[in-house]
């Protein structure tokens, strides 16, 4: 039998028995909306494609999102999460894309191949054993996971009844289990808002949604459809400061917070409940990426990519929630189609030649400024129309996006409102990139600056 060493997320055989290997052009890790869109785009471009997915089914997190609101931009039709996913599952099944389901990817190894491009080996484990897939290009599409109680350090006892909102969503929508009878929700992100409504529809009394910030963090339509329509109170500038209960949650203590987000002594209030649902942020699932040598952006916690969504490791691309957290699956699809097409071009044309397409004299980093929380891509290596994504850190009614190079304004957008719940994107014209290069810049700054109204 092979002996396995799983340290650093890499698998090595020390081995008397060779691990079975299959060759593809493009290997996609993750079978959610990002992975499926990337795989379909790579297949359409003529690549031999494989998807490795740890669950038994394609669809990713959308399988448990049974509410409507998907597909409005992509299909011009309102679908539920499973309906949206099924449209892509059907397309994938109609191709010869190889599916490795129930297959957990353990590591990615990259080595110089004989034909001047890097060959990547993706090691996965499934009930039949260990398998290696080789490919010129890999697309990272592993999605993200939820922040937990320990990551926001809520004091108090540690009884049963504290769940992340997504876990409760899975219990109710997939496992047919009821997480509790009387819930408090911490965090007004979209998953928290949707779960407030879902719990109410399942007969779970929702005592309120509590939000640390002075504004709701989810989409406006979700505040209206999920809270206002069901008379569920939203308490802004308020957080949970203690969990109370021995075996099971009996109550939570909530407190108002000041402008520095610190609890205000004397404002404590005890809210009886048996369940605390946490909707306090998502973290891109990047352990595999880091082990493969991919550099992460500390702001997005996803990979630093260029305009074609290629990471700093040649031939490894990233898209979807593993790259940066998206609020709409439709945007995940559009982005991932770009990553899949670019991965296929890389795999089929050959690494060195594809890199030659990038203008070697163009190497710009992209940094956020003002109230922009991040800017993506983090690098631009070609003078071409480039899609820029960003998110603001606080809501503003009037602000302007500006692009600066060597301190000079080379682009200015319209004055308008921005919200942290909405991921923004706009096309940066090639001539702006050329102007930055003409100014001798090595960095462009995407600045979102509040504008004083006259």
Ligand X SMILES: Cc1cc2nc3c(=O)[nH]c(=O)nc-3n(C[C@H](O)[C@H](O)[C@H](O)COP(=O)(O)OP(=O)(O)OC[C@H]3O[C@@H](n4cnc5c(N)ncnc54)[C@H](O)[C@@H]3O)c2cc1C
Asked if 371 interacts with ligand X (CB under 6 A), we say no
What strand order describes the sheet that includes 118-126?
20-23, 129-135, 118-126, 104-112
Asked if 52 interacts with ligand X (CB under 6 A), we say yes
Asked if 45 interacts with ligand X (CB under 6 A), we say no
Which one of 28, 33, 218, 377 is in contact with ligand X (CB under 6 A)?
A: 33
Asked if 335 interacts with ligand X (CB under 6 A), we say no
Q: Number of residues in contact with ligand X, rule: CB under 6 A?
A: 38
Q: Please report, for residues 13, 14, 349, 366, the alpha-carbon distance to residue 5 in angstroms, rounded to integers and kept in the order given.
A: 7, 8, 35, 39
Asked if 211 interacts with ligand X (CB under 6 A), we say no
Asked if 89 interacts with ligand X (CB under 6 A), we say no
Task: Find tokens 């996965």 and name the residue.
Answer: 124
Closest CB 401 distance from ligand X, rounded Å: 24
Task: State which residue, 89 or 249, has the beta carbon closest to ligand X.
Answer: 89
Tokens of 186: 């911490």
Which one of 54, 178, 393, 400 is in contact with ligand X (CB under 6 A)?
A: 54
Task: State which residue, 35 or 208, has the beta carbon closest to ligand X.
Answer: 35
Which one of 47, 62, 133, 139 is in contact with ligand X (CB under 6 A)?
A: 62
Binders of ligand X among residues 244 to 273 (CB under 6 A) are: none
Which one of 11, 27, 29, 92 is in contact with ligand X (CB under 6 A)?
A: 29
Task: State which residue, 55 or 250, has the beta carbon closest to ligand X.
Answer: 55
Asked if 285 interacts with ligand X (CB under 6 A), we say yes
Neighbours of 352 (CB within 10 A): 12
- Residue 54, classified by CB atoms within 10 Å of its CB into exposed (0-12), middle (13-18) or buried (19+), is middle
Name which of 100, 98, 75, 96 is nearest 85 in CA terms: 75
Asked if 104 interacts with ligand X (CB under 6 A), we say yes
Name which of 10, 73, 52 is nearest 142 in CA terms: 52
Cα 50 to chain centroid distance, Å, stands at 21
Which one of 47, 142, 186, 251 is in contact with ligand X (CB under 6 A)?
A: 142
Question: Interface with ligand X by CB under 6 A: which residues?
Answer: 29-35, 52-55, 60-62, 65, 70, 104-105, 141-144, 146, 166, 169, 190-191, 194, 282, 285, 288, 320-322, 326, 328-329, 332
């Amino acid at each position: 039998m092979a002996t396995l060493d799983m340290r650093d997320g890499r698998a090595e055989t020390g081995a008397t028995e060779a691990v079975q290997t299959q060759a593809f052009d493009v290997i996609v890790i993750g079978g959610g909306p990002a992975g499926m869109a990337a795989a379909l785009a790579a297949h359409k471009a003529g690549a031999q494609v494989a998807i490795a997915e740890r669950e038994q089914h394609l669809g990713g997190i959308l399988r448990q999102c049974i509410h409507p609101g998907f597909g409005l931009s992509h299909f011009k039709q309102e679908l539920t999460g499973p309906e949206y996913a099924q449209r892509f599952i059907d397309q994938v099944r109609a191709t010869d894309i190889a599916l490795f389901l129930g297959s957990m990817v353990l590591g990615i190894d990259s080595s110089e191949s004989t034909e001047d491009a890097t060959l990547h080996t993706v090691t996965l484990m499934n009930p039949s054993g260990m398998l290696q897939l080789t490919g010129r290009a890999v697309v990272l599409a592993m999605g993200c996971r939820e922040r937990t109680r320990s990551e926001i350090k809520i004091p108090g006892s540690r009884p049963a009844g504290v769940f992340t909102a997504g876990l409760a969503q899975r219990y109710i929508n997939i496992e047919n289990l009821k997480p509790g009878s009387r819930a408090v929700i911490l965090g007004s992100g979209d998953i928290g808002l949707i779960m407030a409504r879902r719990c109410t529809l399942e007969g779970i009394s929702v005592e309120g949604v509590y939000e640390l910030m002075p504004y709701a963090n989810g989409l406006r339509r979700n505040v209206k459809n999920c809270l206002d329509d069901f008379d569920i109170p939203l308490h802004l500038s308020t957080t949970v400061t203690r969990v109370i209960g021995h075996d099971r949650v009996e109550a939570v203590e909530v407190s108002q917070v000041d402008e520095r987000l610190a609890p205000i002594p004397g404002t404590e209030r005890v809210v009886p409940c048996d369940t605390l649902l946490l909707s306090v942020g998502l973290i891109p699932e990047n352990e595999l990426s880091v082990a493969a040598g991919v550099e992460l952006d500390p702001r997005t916690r996803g990979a630093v990519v260029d305009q074609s969504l290629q990471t700093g490791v040649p031939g490894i691309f990233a898209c979807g929630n593993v790259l940066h957290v998206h609020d709409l699956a439709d945007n995940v699809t559009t982005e991932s189609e770009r990553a899949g097409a670019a991965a296929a071009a890389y795999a089929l044309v050959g690494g060195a030649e594809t890199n030659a397409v990038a203008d070697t004299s163009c190497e710009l980093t992209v940094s956020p400024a003002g109230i922009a929380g991040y800017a993506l891509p983090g690098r631009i290596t070609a003078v071409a129309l480039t899609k820029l994504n960003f998110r603001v850190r606080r809501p503003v009614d009037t602000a302007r996006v500006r692009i600066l190079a060597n301190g000079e304004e080379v682009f200015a957008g319209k004055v308008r409102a921005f919200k942290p719940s909405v991921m923004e994107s706009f096309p940066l014209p090639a001539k702006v990139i050329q102007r930055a290069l003409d100014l001798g810049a090595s960095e462009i700054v995407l600045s979102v600056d509040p504008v004083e109204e006259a």
